[in-house]
Amino acid sequence: MPFSFEPCPIAGLYEIQPRVFGDSRGYFFEAWSERDFAAAGLNLAFVQDNQSRSTKGVLRGLHFQKTHPQGKLVRAIEGEVFDVAVDIRPGSPSYGKWHGVILSGEKQNQYYIPPGFAHGFLVLSETAVFAYKCTDFYHPEDEGGVIWNDPAIGIKWPDLGMAYLLSDKDKKLPFFAALKTKGRFSAEKPQVWLIGNKGMLGTELSLLLEKKGIPHTGTDREVDITDPAALAAFVEKQAAAGQPITWIINCAAYTAVDKAEDDAETCRRLNTAGPGNIAATAKKIGARLIHFSTDYVFDGKGSRPRKEDDPTDPIGVYGLTKRDGERRVLAANEASWIIRTAWLYGKQGNNFVHTMLRLMQERDSVSVVNDQRGSPTWAYDLACTVTLFIAALEGGKTVPPGIYHYTNDGNITWFDFAQQIYTQGKKLGLLTKDCAVKPCTSAEFPAKVRRPAYSVLDKSKVKAVLGIEIPTWDASLEEYLKSCVP
């Protein structure tokens, strides 16, 4: 290969040395090869070449583009420069850190700087001709910058025994802290890491994020949430690829309520330790976290919709581990939003609606408990609300972190729910035979874990904070079943 690629201490940066062929006549080398760079994992599409000539002591930078970030491949054609990149990628573990490389026309080395860095250089030789290839066009209205001598960054510029020569504009660039406060380094759109993307809610969120054009990366079991090192490695990988994570949505959970009684250790690792690890990872990279919990954190007694600050009294191992997971998340990262939900259904995975449709098509009658009251939740509606949280916070709206409740509006029993599934299923042709839906008691369906008799959640807080109306359970069920019609 005509190039050697040396990774720098900050992920994404590379010092590149081309293979130079020289003899008494001069030299020849390849300065760029799309094929060879791609083989090294750098799939780049350059759109603009720039070149400058400067005298000794000239310092240019630190520059970046706010919403049109540029990747740059830079080199000194003649002379010698000290070239610096400062990591301004939101969520990067090396956010605010810098790395410098001496580039020279004699050595012919190059420096690749991906999007998401502020860039500058100091001329060390009497003159220098500096060239750089860019992955996006120059947008003068989109320029941003950081002052060259910001103590918070602490770049160790070489001492030339003379005052550096800066433009008037570069002398007036703001400090790093001021730009961080204004969020000037934020990308135009958030970068979401969707954990548990293959489950019921994760699938809905994945489709919705794609539809809304929100950049996201989904993972499932291939990234072990119980292993902090695995989480850190994935974050590093995304940052190196120029996709630093600004949001984490955690849909991963152990949800087998009865099985959890015999598998408490696995349940606790996934519902308590895992979310704690994710929250700590989000804290470390400055990302916001949305995590999901359950009505099972309450005891299921009473007749008043439960509010977010009501005392918890979990039912069984599942409820206990979810409650403890909430506590771990909030303790590890204050920038966390926890959404408790209940009676979730959707197209992916097992749920009450799918089970009822199958049984009603197979049997002449089904018996359904009529002494447990709650509110169904269509996974699509919950996913939409998650994107509203993101949009509100990205737009600068005040959305206090903490716990929120979300289900569809209204409250019914499982028997009421089954009756409506049957009525609408027959109407839409999803059910082609008659089936009697009969009420029964919970005692007629014994289980290891007592189900909540009353699990209605008060949604006043989420309605007020986001300014939304929540669809009723029967309207959402109808829309869902329509989407199931072949």
- Read off the DSSP letter of residue 212: T
Task: Please name the residue that has the structure tokens 């690749």.
Answer: 112
Task: Please name the residue that has the structure tokens 């959970």.
Answer: 253
Q: Pairing between strand 80-87 and 402-405?
A: unpaired
76: nearest Cα among 105, 102, 37: 105
Task: Please name the residue that has the structure tokens 């919705």.
Answer: 208
461: nearest Cα among 310, 302, 261, 280: 310
318 is catalytic: yes
Kindly report the number of other CB atoms within 10 A of residue 104's CB atom. Answer: 17
Encoded tokens for 215: 């950049």
- Provide the CA 422 distance to its chain's centre, in angstroms: 38
Round to whole Å and give the CA distance between 483 and 486: 8
263: nearest Cα among 225, 316, 218: 316
Kindly report the number of other CB atoms within 10 A of residue 388's CB atom. Answer: 17
Stated as kind and residue range, the H or E segment containing 440 is strand 436-440
- Provide the CA 182 distance to its chain's centre, in angstroms: 21
Stated as kind and residue range, the H or E segment containing 326 is helix 316-332
Q: Which whole-number Å values give the CA distances from 472 to 378, 409, 416, in the listed order?
A: 10, 4, 14
Encoded tokens for 289: 């976290």
Helices (H), 65-158: none
Residues with Cβ within 8 Å of residue 85, at least 6 apart in sequence = 10, 13, 98, 99, 100, 111, 113, 117, 118, 119
Choose, from 318, 380, 422, 454, the residue flagged as catalytic: 318
Residues with Cβ within 8 Å of residue 245, at least 6 apart in sequence = 91, 191, 192, 193, 217, 235, 238, 239, 285, 287
Helix (H, G, I), strand (E, B) or coil at 446: coil
- Read off the DSSP letter of residue 409: B
Q: Which whole-number Å values give the CA distances from 49 to 21, 46, 384, in the listed order?
A: 24, 8, 42
Phi, psi of 145 (to 5 degrees): -170, 165
Number of H helices, E strands in the chain: 13, 25
Round to whole Å and give the CA distance between 269 and 260: 11
163, with CB counted inside 10 A (0-12, 13-18, 19+), is exposed
The set of catalytic residues is 318
